[in-house]
Structure 1
Amino acid sequence: MSRLFSVACLFLLTLTASLAAHADVRVLTSIKPLQLIAAAVQDGVGQPAVLLPPGASPHHYALRPSDVRNVREAQLLYWVGADLETFLPRVLAGRSQPSVAVQDLPGMHLRHFGESHDEHAQHAGHGHDEAADEHDDIHDHAHRPGSLDAHLWLLPANAQVIAAKIAADLAAADPSNAARYQANANAFGERLSALDQRLKKRLQGLAGKPYFVFHEAYDYFEAAYGLRHAGVFSVLGEVQPGARHVAAMRERLQQVGPTCVFSEPPLRPRLAQTLTAGLPVTLAELDAMGAGLAVDANGYEALLENLAGELAGCLETL
């Protein structure tokens, strides 16, 4: 009986050690696009969590007590940086484990508002692009010219840099699965290279097609694939622009002729209908956050493919 008990204890100890060696590392990301990148790296080993719920804006989010608890308990945390998630720095000060602002990673390609697409620079200090002003006369400047454009996940090359960092961090936290994390990151990079070629082919004939957006969030993607929005209708919260400003917006749309106006899910601004009524304008959506996408190894690629499809689906009709 005692021998049987000893064997049972040994089995339980071995099982416990094995489970501990393969325990999921608790990864938390601020926003879903980073969660999708982390999911590609953790594929087959664990599942990353995300802080912001679907539809929440990283620009204007109020942390709940449960969010603060999740931030403090995560082993690894990834966020874009203080230029995007302005609500996070204070609570991150209470963390004892690693927090990575991906905008600060070496090798990231960063853009600044007001740059031309030719100025795909890594550092600040670039002059304001006068050519950009040609399409900016209806822009409220919700983003200050010269400030960092934090929508950096929309460039595939940046996603590869982020994935490499996550793989290195996971390998250090979970050495028994280090080879798996690295293999996943390598496979992710290869898939992104192939996707990049497909997207270039899909979008190459659309350069010069006029379209407008309600949020200046797509410059990384546009610069990568030769596109450029004609203007930005900035809508801050529910504050509606004055009649004179709306008239100027409509006049711009009339001058352009057939065009597309893209809003972001989940809500279409009330202004969209007012602006476009009676004009040859198609209303559509661009989802930079991946709302509704499955969190799996291919989720990030689906985000970019959907973005390309949403743009092409409307612009090809012009």
Structure 2
Amino acid sequence: MHRLLTHFSSVMLGLLFAAPAFAEVRVLTSIKPLQLIAAAVQDGVGKPGVLLPPGASPHHFTLRPSDIRNVREADLLYWIGPDLETFLPRVLEGRRAMTLAVQDISGLHLRRFGEEHRHDEEPADEHEEEHTDVHDEGTEAGEHDELHRPGALDAHLWLDPDNARKIASRMASDLSSIDPANAARYQANLAAFDQRLAAMDEKIEDRLKPLAGKPFFVFHEAFDYFEEAFGLRHAGVFAVSADVQPGARKVADMRKRLELAGASCVFSEPPIPPRLAQTLSEGLPVRLAELDPLGYDVKVDALGYERLLEALGSNLAGCLERL
């Protein structure tokens, strides 16, 4: 009996000390696109969390007490940087665990607002005639414009698949360091992610390449990374805030721009109500569709990031192909 108890105690003691090695690493991301990339890397090992709920804007979000607690308790926290999540810097000051603004990852392709796409070869003055932005005059929209002022960092960097590869690589490295028991799985997941992105790149490019030059308009300058990656360029931006209804003068300016463009696509973006796009396009040869850079309806799993980009490509092509 004594031997049996001693053996039982030894087994329980071993399990007690072994338990931390099997504890899931708590990964927290600021926005859903980063959560989708992390989910690909953690597939089969853990599930990353996210701060922003569906429909929330990273520009104007306010953290709840439960969010602050999650920030403090996470083992790894990934965010884009202060140009996007303006609500995070003060909260992060008290964190001791690993925190990374992914915009600081070495080798990332970073754009600044007002830059021409690298694949564009036309003179800048020709672009100025073709590319028109119409900005709102409200307070919220004014703050939004300040974040998108010429020369400011375009923080929508996750829409470049090459950037996503580099972010995933860094996540796999961080996770392997904290959780060496699962390092092989993280690296295998990373390799699988790279292979899937290569196939996705080719698929999206094949569909969008013939559509280059067809005019389309967006309500938010969020898609330049995606456009540059796949050879497109929007004809104009209607800088509209979801919280401010544009005035009659602004609506008239936007309609005039659409009249000049002729047959074109206008892409609204959640949570901006599509009824504004409907008002703008009434009586014009304009087709309406939606682009969601944050993937609010995308399922969080290993394939989520590809679904996000495939949805953008499919929605763009689906509208432009009908012009």
Q: TM-score with structure 2 length normalisation?
A: 0.91
Please state if 1:39 is matched with 2:39.
Answer: yes
Q: Are the equivalent residues in 2 in contact too, given 1:114–1:132 (CA < 8 A)?
A: no
Q: Are the equivalent residues in 1 in contact too, given 2:80–2:155 (CA < 8 A)?
A: yes
Q: Are the equivalent residues in 1 in contact too, given 2:215–2:264 (CA < 8 A)?
A: yes
**Partner in structure 2 of residue 13 of structure 1:** 13
1:298, 1:133 → 2: CA distance? Answer: 39
Kindly state the Cα deviation for residue 266 of structure 1 after the two structures are TM-superposed: 3.8
Equivalent position SS for 1:14: helix
2:3, 2:205 → 1: CA distance? Answer: 67
**Partner in structure 2 of residue 94 of structure 1:** 94
2:316, 2:274 → 1: CA distance? Answer: 19
CA deviations over 1:56-101 (Å, ceiling 9, x no partner): 1111101111111111111100000000001100000010111100
Q: Are the equivalent residues in 2 in contact too, given 1:259–1:281 (CA < 8 A)?
A: yes
**Partner in structure 2 of residue 315 of structure 1:** 320
Stretch moving more, 138-147 or 204-213: 138-147
Kindly state the Cα deviation for residue 270 of structure 1 after the two structures are TM-superposed: 4.5
Kindly state the Cα deviation for residue 10 of structure 1 after the two structures are TM-superposed: 2.7
**Partner in structure 1 of residue 75 of structure 2:** 75
AA of the residue aligned to 2:283: G
Task: Note closer, same or farther for the CA distance 1:119–1:91 as it changes in structure 2 (3 Å cut).
Answer: farther
| Counterpart mapping for 1:86-165 below 5 A | 86-118=86-118, 130-140=125-135, 142=145, 143-165=148-170
Residue 261 of structure 1, aligned match among 266, 272, 275: 266
Equivalent position SS for 1:282: strand
Task: Note closer, same or farther for the CA distance 1:173–1:131 as it changes in structure 2 (3 Å cut).
Answer: farther
Please state if 1:172 is matched with 2:177.
Answer: yes
Please state if 1:277 is matched with 2:277.
Answer: no
Percentage of pairs with the same residue: 64
1:264, 1:6 → 2: CA distance? Answer: 65
**Partner in structure 1 of residue 140 of structure 2:** none
Structure 2 unaligned residues grouped into runs of 5+: 137-144
Please state if 1:250 is matched with 2:255.
Answer: yes
Stretch moving more, 269-278 or 142-151: 269-278
**Partner in structure 2 of residue 24 of structure 1:** 24
Kindly state the Cα deviation for residue 285 of structure 1 after the two structures are TM-superposed: 0.6
CA deviations over 1:146-183 (Å, ceiling 9, x no partner): 11100000001000110111111111111111111112
Equivalent position SS for 1:95: coil
Structure 1 unaligned residues grouped into runs of 5+: 121-128
**Partner in structure 2 of residue 125 of structure 1:** none
1:267, 1:109 → 2: CA distance? Answer: 28
1:57, 1:131 → 2: CA distance? Answer: 34
Stretch moving more, 57-66 or 110-119: 110-119
2:105, 2:125 → 1: CA distance? Answer: 30
AA of the residue aligned to 1:21: A
Stretch moving more, 189-198 or 9-18: 9-18
Equivalent position SS for 2:165: helix
1:308, 1:264 → 2: CA distance? Answer: 14
**Partner in structure 1 of residue 301 of structure 2:** 296
Q: Are the equivalent residues in 1 in contact too, given 2:241–2:272 (CA < 8 A)?
A: no
1:133, 1:52 → 2: CA distance? Answer: 36
Equivalent position SS for 1:139: strand
2:233, 2:210 → 1: CA distance? Answer: 13
Runs of 4+ that moved beyond 6 A: none
Q: Are the equivalent residues in 1 in contact too, given 2:197–2:306 (CA < 8 A)?
A: yes
2:313, 2:226 → 1: CA distance? Answer: 9
AA of the residue aligned to 2:3: R
1:131, 1:156 → 2: CA distance? Answer: 29
Task: Note closer, same or farther for the CA distance 1:69–1:281 as it changes in structure 2 (3 Å cut).
Answer: same
State how many pairs are aligned: 311
1:94, 1:281 → 2: CA distance? Answer: 50
Equivalent position SS for 2:217: strand
Kindly state the Cα deviation for residue 136 of structure 1 after the two structures are TM-superposed: 4.1
CA deviations over 1:248-291 (Å, ceiling 9, x no partner): 21111112222111111244254323211221222211011111
AA of the residue aligned to 1:316: E
Equivalent position SS for 1:107: coil
